[in-house]
């Protein structure tokens, strides 16, 4: 994370829980005591820290087990006889047959993914030493688990049920790490794919806000929450970029478009004038100007540029012609209940108004 945007570990955990659609398993009161006010300067230490906490809980609870198939040369029949293999191996001369049978085991894909992830994090040179030491201790519990190569297909092979749902946040962390981690071809060390940290946090921030509103309005039949594509009011769409909103919340009469921005500085200085970023304003104005090409029914349309509170604290509303838009900040360093209240206020203030 950018050095100027410090977010407590517990708040990142809550954001991940909403972004990954596992909000229903979080216990905010309990997690506050577990996480405290820890803060880290990069997201990989965050992932290692959270992974350590949930793996400690997993070990106390016990690994999820599943049936795996073993094949052995046995003198006593067990399971199914593999006649073709028995003939090929000539086991009959030794008074044995090749038998295939199922056993209940910890050595299943869920635990294999975790082991692979632990090994990668432990070998990542920029993980803090105290976190690395904790991960090394946890890795001892996976000694009997097979080492596997993990790719995107591996995660698609997983099947969740009520007995293994507690693995979901752990597996999501593993997926994030594997997606962004590469092995150095000249050594056994790993390095994360080079990307802008603010961009990665922006993705998390956007998904958190979107899913927070989706969950809040889930049982509300009158209000919809989506990230919609808006059609340009243009005669030819060839070579015209797609205009897709981060978040669109609407009913039969009102539409609120929220664009999340993760920047340490909301304001910029240009020719001695301090102002909002013009590109953000142009983008929002385009959304607001074209949204009724998709939905002709909206009587009022409002846009919100939503930033994390950092160097600039701005909560201001503007009117351009007949359109309203606001610039709001969310303090991600505050208590999570305050964050939720602010997000809800933005919505309720608009939809409860008479305009």
Residue corresponding to tokens 């922006």:
202
Residue corresponding to tokens 């990230």:
227
Compute φ and ψ for 72, nearest 5 degrees: -140, 160
**Cα dist from 100 to 82, 89, 116, 145, whole Å:** 7, 15, 27, 20
The class level of CATH for 198-351 reads alpha beta
| 174-212: pLDDT as tens digits | 988 887 665 444 444 444 444 345 667 788 899 999 999
| 1-33: pLDDT as tens digits | 444 566 777 788 888 888 888 776 655 555 555
Residue 265, pLDDT above cutoff 80: no
Q: What is the pLDDT of residue 42?
A: 65
Mean pLDDT, range 327-352, rounded to an integer:
90
Lookup: tokens for 201:
């946090």
Q: What are the residue boundaries of the structural domains of the chain, listed by start?
A: 40-64+108-194, 70-105, 198-351
Mean pLDDT, range 269-294, rounded to an integer:
84
Mean pLDDT, range 279-302, rounded to an integer:
84
**Cα dist from 176 to 8, 123, 150, 152, whole Å:** 19, 16, 12, 11
The full 3-state SS of 151-210, as one line of letters, equals: CHHHHHCCCCCCCCHHHHHHHHHHHHHHHCEEECCCCCCEEECCCCHHHHHHHHHHHHHH
């Amino acid at each position: 994370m950018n050095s100027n945007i410090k977010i407590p570990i517990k708040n990142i955990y809550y954001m991940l829980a909403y972004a990954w659609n596992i909000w229903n398993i979080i216990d905010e009161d309990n997690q506050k005591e577990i996480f405290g006010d820890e803060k880290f300067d990069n997201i990989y230490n965050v992932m290692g820290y959270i992974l350590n906490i949930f793996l400690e809980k997993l070990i106390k609870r016990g690994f999820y087990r599943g049936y795996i198939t073993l094949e052995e040369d046995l003198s006593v029949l067990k399971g199914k006889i593999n006649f073709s293999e028995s003939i090929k191996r000539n086991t009959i001369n030794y008074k044995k047959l090749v038998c295939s049978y199922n056993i209940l085991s910890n050595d299943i894909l869920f635990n294999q993914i975790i082991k692979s992830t632990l090994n990668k994090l432990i070998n990542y040179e920029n993980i803090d030493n105290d976190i690395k030491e904790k991960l090394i201790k946890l890795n001892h519990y996976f000694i009997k688990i097979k080492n596997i190569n993990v790719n995107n297909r591996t995660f698609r092979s997983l099947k969740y049920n009520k007995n293994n749902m507690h693995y979901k946040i752990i597996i999501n962390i593993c997926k994030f790490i594997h997606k962004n981690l590469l092995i150095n071809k000249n050594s056994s060390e790993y390095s994360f794919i080079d990307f802008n940290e603010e961009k990665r946090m922006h993705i998390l921030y956007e998904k958190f806000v979107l899913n927070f509103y989706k969950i809040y309005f889930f049982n509300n039949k009158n209000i919809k929450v989506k990230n919609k594509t808006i059609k340009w009011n243009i005669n030819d769409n060839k070579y015209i970029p797609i205009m897709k909103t981060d978040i669109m919340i609407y009913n039969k009469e009102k539409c609120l478009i929220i664009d999340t921005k993760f920047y340490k500085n909301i304001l910029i200085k240009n020719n001695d004038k301090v102002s909002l970023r013009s590109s953000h304003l142009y983008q929002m104005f385009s959304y607001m100007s074209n949204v009724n090409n998709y939905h002709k029914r909206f009587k009022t349309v409002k846009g919100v540029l939503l930033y994390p509170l950092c160097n600039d604290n701005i909560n201001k509303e503007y009117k351009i012609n007949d359109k309203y838009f606001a610039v709001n900040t969310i303090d991600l360093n505050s208590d999570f209940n305050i964050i939720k209240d602010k997000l809800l206020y933005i919505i309720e203030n608009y939809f409860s108004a008479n305009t």
